[in-house]
Structure 1
C-alpha cells in the first residue's frame, strides 16, 4: 500500500514537472533560438545587385550602400499587417558570431500596397510605417548561391521570406 502511494506521488510530481516544462517552452519556437546561418565569407560586392521573390518583391542593393525597395513585406509580426512598402534607403553587411546579416533601412517611402484587398479596406489595421528596417540573414543554397531571408509572421513558427538573386544579376 505504501509503495502504491509513493508511486502515485512520483507520477504526480513527474506530471507536474512535464506541465511546467510545457508552459515554459510553449513560446519557444525556432526563431527564438536561431543563432544565424554561420556564413562568414560573403562580401558586400557579392551581396550587391538585384534580389526578388515569388511575390513580386524586388530589392536592389547598390554597391554605394543605397537601396531600392519594391513591394517588400514587413518581417516578424509586421508581416501579418499585410502592407508592402516601396521606396529608397540604405544597406550594409554585418558579421556577428552567428553569421552575416544584411541590414536594410527604408528611409524614403514612395508607395504602400497591400497583399490582399481585405487589408486595404480594414480601418482597424495599423498605419504602415513611413520608414522601416529589415534584417536579412545571408545563406547559401545547395548550389552555393547566395540567398537572403528573414522570418515572417509569428517568429515562433519559423516561416521564412526568401529573396533570391535576380536572373542575370
Structure 2
C-alpha cells in the first residue's frame, strides 16, 4: 500500500504542476471568451482537490509505518478525506466526459493512444478510492488493536 500511496502522491503533484502550467503559461496567450470561465472553474477544482489529496496522503502516511513510529491517535482531518475522494471523483469525471466526447464525435477518428491516455486519469482515480477505503479500515483495525492491548495492560496493573 505504500507504493500505491507514493504513486498517488506523484499523480497529485503531476496534476497540480499541469494545472499551474496551463493557468500561468498557456491561458494568458488565449483571448478571453465565456468558455474560459468554465475552464478556470475546472482547473480550480482540479488544483484544490489535488492539493487536499496531496496533504491527505502526506498526513496519512504514518499509518503505514512500523509499529513503534505509528501515531494512531492523531486523526486525519475530514477535509483531507473529502479532498481525496473529490480528487478521485474529479479524475473519473474527466475520464468519463472525455470518453463521452470521443464516442460522440467518433467519425473524426481516434486512435488507441487517446484511450490509453485516458487510463492515466482513470487508474489514479480508482486507486485513490481503493486506498482511501483500505486506509479507513486499517485505521479502524489499528485503533481496535491498540485499545485491546491497552485494556490488557490495565487489567494486569489493576490487580497489583
Q: TM-score, normalised by structure 1?
A: 0.20
More strand by share: 1
The TM-score normalised by the length of structure 2 is: 0.21
- Kindly indicate whether structure 1 or structure 2 has the higher relative contact order, using CA contacts under 8 Å at least 6 residues apart: 2
